[in-house]
Structure 1
Amino acid sequence: MGYTEESCSLAQFRALLNNRDGGAGLCHATGLEQNVPLYEAPALRAKLADNTRGPEIMAEFADVLLDGAGVFVIKQAFADPAVIDQATMVFNQIIEAERTSQGGQDHFARAGANHRIWNALEKLCVKAPDIFARYYGNDMIALAAEAWLGPAYQITSQINVVRPGGEAQQPHCDYHLGFLTAAEAARYPAHVHTLSPALTLQAGIAHCAMPVASGPTKILPFSQTYGAGYLAWRRADFRDYFEAHCVQVAMDKGDALFFNPSLFHAAGANTTATVERMANLLQISSAFGRAMERVDRRRMCQLLYPVLLTARQSGELTAGEISNAIAACAEGYAFPLSLDETPPAGGLAPKSQQVLMAEALAENQSPDAYCRTLA
């Protein structure tokens, strides 16, 4: 049987969340704030220098997202804050250009005080591919994404700016089932409600210091463990419970928040007089799911390849950073395709955009030669 909005039980929900310890069984977290595990990127990077430690760190991340708090923070995820500042400058230019032509509106908050850049991933790559390469070469984003989704994940991005006085969002669960009406979501069987969160990882990158008063994400740890959550979040009694028990974690510039999309969450109100809160909201999709935004990855590949080729030849970016940037840009999954036009050769599937770009870089192909492989 499936779930219904009427059958959701606040008593059962409360029982799942009460007396839970977000730090239980964690070996790599360096702290716990209001039941939210905190990780320090420098400590993680030191462990990752031992190539055998990556799988155990990723397994811990997955356990937190699935059965634990449902959310964690990586402090100092960006080792170089200058990369954040450079991207912020580009995003501000895009905001100014879009302000006069369109209004960026939030799904779950009133328009006006907030500004959204939709498809910020592609827009950053088009406007500043060199900054894109350094920004998405980030190892912590790649580590968390692969921990939850496996390889060949697909990143999409939206910039959210909440100015002083900006109101909070309504609590909600997110894409996929979170973007359906209650009636539509109820049509999907219970096992699909269990599957949906495994197709997406939500993340937020702090582009400025975010004290609690500025409204960092309000979250309800462990709420993702309630199976009917995609229907329950719409009910007034569940929303009231959320507002009474949610927590917020202050973030510094360059910190990253990762959470299960079925976790009850909402952007907070910005009650400061001066802080313009900017976050890069990442929606990272499994290779086996459909991303929410349509991204022209072929165009991005054409623009990013010359930058990565130069960076590889000069040593400006490490092999790992180049691999992470490719993963953020290129399509990692070969399907769907026409098997008449592109039959598999020597394997079960043709080469993906990610494989083609990595091979072209390894062979030092010219940008023109590489672009011909995308035709």
Structure 2
Amino acid sequence: MSVAAVSGRVWLSEQDRDLEAFRALVDRVTAVFEALIAEQRVSGTGAGDHFAGPRANDRVWNALEKTALYAPEAFADYDANDVLALVSSAWLGPRYQVTSQVNVVNPGAAGQTAHRDHHLGFLGHAVAAAYPAQVHRLSPALTLQGAVAHCDMPVESGPTRYLPYSQLYEPGYLAWRLPEFQAYFEAQHVQLPLARGDAAFFSPALFHAAGTDRTADVRRTANLLQVSSAFGRAMESVDREAVADAVFPVLLRRAAQGAGEEWLENVIAASAEGYPFPANLDSDPPVDGLAPPAPADVLRRAVREAGAPQRLRAELRAGTERRES
């Protein structure tokens, strides 16, 4: 903090006043997060984490929408931040979309395993390996990763650990799960302590992980931001649930007639949504993996099990409803 001494008194500079005003705003939004977490505890919701053990953290999925509905003025002030706009537009260009999840790491909670993030980082190894090299290069350019500190985060509290320059390693979406890369991360990572109101932004391809909270009293609270490119979405809206319902009898008939696996997979790929996000992680959390099942997984299983069309229709409809906020 910069200060100027005038007549024996210490005065805050204009920049400092802006910082103090933002920290006051962060405190207002933190109070909203705490209220949402309290409601989740009462209702019994709010489980599941991508890269940490169950119940290690308190999570608020879709915090952006929930904050807007709970406290619209605080939401507007918070998300009007010009630094967020500057960094997001510099990385992604205009018409980006912000999403956020609150992560509170409780005292004593173990840290995450090193990983990469959205998009390819949330896919299984075999699925990620099926994408060509140019997609591995493109994926990080479609998302900006960030975190706003909602409390002071000394190193002992386990702020995010980073492996510098690892975002430049092109096979990283396949490498981060390997034991030798995990060991290298543990030996070579760096940590950046943060003060309340600080923010950190980085490529989702950077190997990173939340650290272990070794304090007795710091509930390390961060608002995690994933800002998405406008080009990460398809040009047209497609009712893929209706398409999957319509082609399912054809898939069943052709499978019974001996159609090959490749043929079936091609039709499924053209019909059903193959990507599990966006998701409502409250009602469809990643408890059994890194992501909930995609509609294409549901259709694929129904073909394999030769299920009834009515059952598939019900499962797809239930999945659509789970994804709604």
Q: What TM-score does the superposition give when structure 1 sets the normalisation length?
A: 0.57
**Which residue of structure 2 aligns with residue 92 of structure 1?**
34
**Contact map agreement 2:112 2:209 (CA 8 A) in 1:** yes
Report how many residues are paired: 224
Cross-structure match for 1:123: 66
- Written as runs of structure 1 = structure 2, the 5 A alignment for 1:133-172 is 133-172=76-115
Counterparts of 1:196 and 1:90, CA distance in 2: 33
Distance 1:78 1:285 in 2: 29
Deviation, 1:78, is 7.7
CA distance in 1 between counterparts of 2:163 and 2:277 reads 24
Q: How far is 1:112 from its partner?
A: 1.7
TM-score (norm 2): 0.66
Tell me the distance in 2 between the aligned counterparts of 1:202 and 1:185.
Answer: 19
Q: Is the 8 A contact 1:206 1:251 kept in 2?
A: yes
Unaligned runs of 5+ in 2: 1-12, 234-275, 281-325
Q: 1:185-230: per-residue Cα shift (whole Å, max 9, x none)?
A: 0110000000000000000000000000101000001000000000
C-alpha contact (below 8 Å) 1:148/1:201 kept by paired residues: yes
Instruction: Identify the range of structure 1 (76-85 vs 105-114) with the bigger mean alpha-carbon deviation.
Output: 76-85
2:167 alignment partner in structure 1: 224
1:315-357 deviations in whole A, cap 9, x for unaligned?
A: xxxxxxxxxxxxxxxxxxxxxxxxxxxxxxxxxxxxxxxxxxx
Q: Report the structure number with the largest CA radius of gyration.
A: 2
> Which consecutive unaligned segments of at least 5 residues does structure 1 have?
1-41, 46-75, 296-375
Q: Distance in 2 between matches of 1:252 and 1:124?
A: 22
Q: How far does residue 111 in structure 1 lie from its aligned partner after superposition?
A: 1.4
Contact 2:157 2:212 in 1 (8 A): yes
Query: 2:189 corresponds to which letter in structure 1?
Result: C
After superposition, the C-alpha distances for 1:149-196 in whole angstroms (9 at most, x for unaligned) are 001000000000001001100000000000111100011000000000
Q: Does 1:256 align with 2:188?
A: no
Whether the 8 Å CA contact 1:77–1:256 is kept in 2: the answer is: no
Kept in 1: contact 2:102–2:224 (CA 8 A): yes
CA distance in structure 1 between the partners assigned to 2:27 and 2:116 by the alignment:
30
Is the 2:112–2:210 Cα contact (8 Å) retained in structure 1?
yes
Question: Are residues 1:192 and 2:192 paired?
Answer: no
Report if aligned partners of 2:142, 2:232 keep a CA contact under 8 Å in 1.
yes
Residues 77-112 of structure 1 show CA distances to partners (whole Å, capped at 9, x for unaligned) of 785211100000011000010113213321100112
Structure 1: 4+ residue segments shifted above 4 A: 76-79
3-state SS of paired residue (2:232) = coil
2:145 to 183, 188, 202: 202
Does 2:238 correspond to 1:268?
no
Q: Provide, for residues 238-296 of structure 1, a one-character-per-residue CA deviation record: whole Å limited to 9, x for no partner.
A: 0000000000010000000001000000000000011010000000000011494458x
Q: Which letter does structure 2 place at the counterpart of 1:94?
A: L
The structure-2 alpha-carbon separation of the partners of 1:112 and 1:257, relative to structure 1 and needing over 3 Å to count, comes to same
